[in-house]
Copies of this chain bind each other. A is one copy, B any other.
């Protein structure tokens, strides 16, 4: 099996990491739209336009599936991508919803969804979770987490003040959906803010669970061939991939 992984930037590499660890694919083609990142503050129609362009890009390869690692794209443009694609397209939002339901049995439990402004405004996670019977849902846009991660700030006073800024008004959640590919890199700090050890839902692990549930994998691959494409500065993408994925 060969997969295309699409993200607005480099954050989707956290999803690639999970895919490699679980040896699901013999080849992964990663496309990061780094020339137009971030999507999280862009208009819905613009996100859809860019997402359809990504499907066209992947048609240059013989792929079996497209995985949308970007939460904003998954929230706004998944159906539109599926419409123009000849192969299945799966996204991190549906995966995150399924993973949450698997981890949290009590439908009364408080679920906190964090993400970019676009992802939170889409209410895509709430919609999916409500259909499964959850009703105690709080969504908080935490856009500053993205530049913090990109600045390499994984702890310290700036992050602490930012956590306080976003989380102080909130009740302790049973689970936190990390609704942005950057957030796994500060997941310890995010989870650690609350003293009740909330369950963290990670897009990469959630996608693996979804794939294993919905698709048949005949074999596992000892190693995954990786190809990286970026609309701007591909060498930066490759250097981050080297660091994050240890390739």
Seen from chain A, the residues whose Cβ lies within 8 Å of a Cβ on chain B are 34-36, 41-43, 46, 143-144, 146-148, 150-151, 153, 156-158, 160-162, 164-165, 232-233, 236
Distance to closest chain B CB from A230 (angstroms): 10
Cα A146 to Cα B35 in complex, Å, equals: 18
- In the complex, are the beta carbons of A233 and B43 less than 8 A apart? yes
- In the complex, are the beta carbons of B164 and A157 less than 8 A apart? yes
- In the complex, are the beta carbons of B148 and A46 less than 8 A apart? no
- In the complex, are the beta carbons of A156 and B151 less than 8 A apart? no
Distance to closest chain B CB from A224 (angstroms): 27
A34-B42, A35-B46, A43-B233 known; 17 new pairs, CB 8 Å cut-off, are: A35-B36, A42-B232, A42-B233, A46-B233, A143-B150, A143-B151, A144-B144, A144-B148, A147-B147, A156-B165, A157-B164, A158-B158, A158-B161, A158-B162, A158-B165, A161-B161, A161-B162
Number of chain copies forming the complex: 2
Cα A28 to Cα B95 in complex, Å, equals: 48
Residues of B within 8 A of A150 (CB): 41, 143
Distance to closest chain B CB from A120 (angstroms): 13
26 cross-chain CB contacts under 8 A: A35-B36, A35-B46, A36-B36, A41-B150, A42-B232, A42-B233, A43-B232, A43-B233, A43-B236, A46-B233, A143-B147, A143-B151, A144-B144, A144-B148, A146-B147, A147-B147, A156-B165, A157-B161, A157-B164, A157-B165, A158-B158, A158-B161, A158-B162, A158-B164, A158-B165, A160-B161
Residues of B within 8 A of A162 (CB): 158, 161
Instruction: Pick the most buried of A34, A46, A158, A236: most chain B CB atoms within 10 A of its CB.
Output: A158
Closest to A160 in B: B161
Residues of B within 8 A of A236 (CB): 43
Residues of B within 8 A of A233 (CB): 42-43, 46
